[in-house]
């Protein structure tokens, strides 16, 4: 009689099961889905800021205060909801959280702490504000500055468009 060499069906099934277990435990270490999700969230906030600014700018055009600086008296503003106004600088929201971007954006943000999704920090020149996800470093930190943020810039000195910068390299 000839003796046949090879694997039995049970041995093949056991090997396939072991390879499946290894793939399930090892794959997440090689595929970083969390940073992709965080980068997408930051890009989503960029889009939300641009969309909200478009609406605020439209209200400013209707109100006729798109050529008024934030330093003039009375300071220009538009109402976005009952009792909620947005302070303006040349038709766009001023780059501050309180009484401006907090009423324009529907996000959960704070200057510090761990109870919100987003943290914000105003730039030293007061012409822009940074938003970054909880758990990331501040983009204006003196050491190890974060590279996962959205920057809203309104440094207008005349009527024109604002700037929204996004960096997702460190997400």
For the chain, the structural domain boundaries read: 51-167
- H/E stretch holding 118: strand 118-122
Question: Does position 164 have pLDDT exceeding 70, yes or no?
Answer: yes
Cβ(90)–Cβ(79) below 8 Å: no
Predicted pLDDT of residue 4: 67
| Residue 25 neighbours by CB under 8 Å, 6+ apart | none
pLDDT at 138: 93
pLDDT bucket at 160, cuts 50 / 70 / 90: very high
Nearest to 152 by CA among 108, 106, 98, 93: 93
Largest pairwise CA distance in the chain: 105
**Cβ(146)–Cβ(136) under 8 Å?**
yes
Residue 141 has pLDDT above 70, yes or no: yes
Alpha-carbon span 59 to 133, nearest angstrom: 29
pLDDT on residue 91: 94
Close Cβ partners of 160 (under 8 Å, ≥ 6 residues apart): 90
pLDDT in tens, 59-94: 999 999 999 999 999 999 999 988 899 999 999 999
**How much is the pLDDT for 168?**
94
Mean pLDDT of 122-142: 92
Least confident of 27-36, 61-70, 148-157: 27-36
Number of other CB atoms surrounding residue 119 within 10 Å: 22
**28-32, 51-55, 132-136: the lowest-pLDDT one:** 28-32
């Amino acid at each position: 009689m000839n003796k046949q060499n090879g694997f039995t069906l049970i041995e093949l099934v056991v090997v396939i099961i072991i390879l499946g277990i290894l793939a399930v435990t090892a794959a997440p270490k090689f595929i970083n889905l969390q940073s992709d999700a965080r980068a997408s969230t930051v890009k989503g906030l960029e889009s939300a800021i641009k969309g909200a600014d478009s609406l605020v700018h439209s209200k400013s055009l209707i109100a006729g205060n798109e050529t008024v600086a934030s330093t003039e008296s009375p300071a220009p503003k538009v109402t976005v909801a009952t009792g909620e106004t947005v302070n303006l600088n040349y038709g766009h929201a001023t780059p501050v959280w309180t009484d401006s971007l907090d009423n324009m954006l529907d996000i959960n943000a704070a200057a510090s702490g761990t109870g919100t999704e987003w943290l914000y920090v105003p730039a030293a020149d007061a012409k822009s504000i940074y938003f970054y996800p909880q758990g990331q470093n501040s983009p204006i930190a003196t050491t190890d500055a974060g590279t996962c943020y959205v920057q809203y810039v309104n440094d207008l000195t005349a009527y024109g468009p604002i700037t929204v910068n996004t960096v997702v390299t460190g997400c």
